[in-house]
Structure 1
């Protein structure tokens, strides 16, 4: 499924995998912050989120790592890349 469509139709959850400090410096409205290094310890919480998950970070690198890990654990997720790109898609919702 296309990331832009998931965001536009509010079909899932946006998860920002940057650090808490980075997240507090700016993030997508309605997104949740789960830093990449905390994902293995917060699997139960992640499994309870509305799927599919749209993962984002600063450049798409950390969200790509998160996607790889979560997909291996059976969680439907997509790498949204930079949080700024995801924010752009979010802003297109009328």
Structure 2
């Protein structure tokens, strides 16, 4: 799995798991916001998203928790770490 390549080629869906307020202060273009604490109640919506899911947050901690939870449900997802890193990779699209 080359996370950078998945992001650059737009193969999946970027999901920002920060709070709505954090998301509105800045986020990756085209990403969607599902706060970490909302993930369990939004599983059906999440299952409909184009996989793999690239999960991001401020530092990689919350996205790591989300990745662990979702992967246990059989959802293909990766911890992209900081949304700033994901944003950087996306800006390098070939």
Q: Secondary structure at the match of 1:29?
A: coil
Q: Which residue of 1 aligns with 2:31?
A: 31
Q: Which residue of 2 aligns with 1:42?
A: 42
Pairwise mapping of residues 6-21 of structure 1 onto structure 2 (< 5 A)? 6-21=6-21
Tell me how large the CA RMSD over aligned residues is.
Answer: 0.5
Q: Which residue of 1 aligns with 2:78?
A: 78
Runs of 4+ in 1 over 2 A off after TM superposition: none
Instruction: Give, in whole Å, the separation in 2 of the partners of 1:10 and 1:37.
Output: 26
Instruction: Give, in whole Å, the separation in 2 of the partners of 1:59 and 1:33.
Output: 16
Alignment TM-score, normalising by the size of structure 1: 0.98
Instruction: Give, in whole Å, the separation in 2 of the partners of 1:87 and 1:10.
Output: 12
Alignment TM-score, normalising by the size of structure 2: 0.98
Q: Which residue of 2 aligns with 1:51?
A: 51
CA displacement at 1:4 relative to structure 2: 0.5
| Structure 2: unaligned runs, 5 residues or longer | none
| Structure 1: unaligned runs, 5 residues or longer | none
Instruction: Give, in whole Å, the separation in 2 of the partners of 1:4 and 1:22.
Output: 23
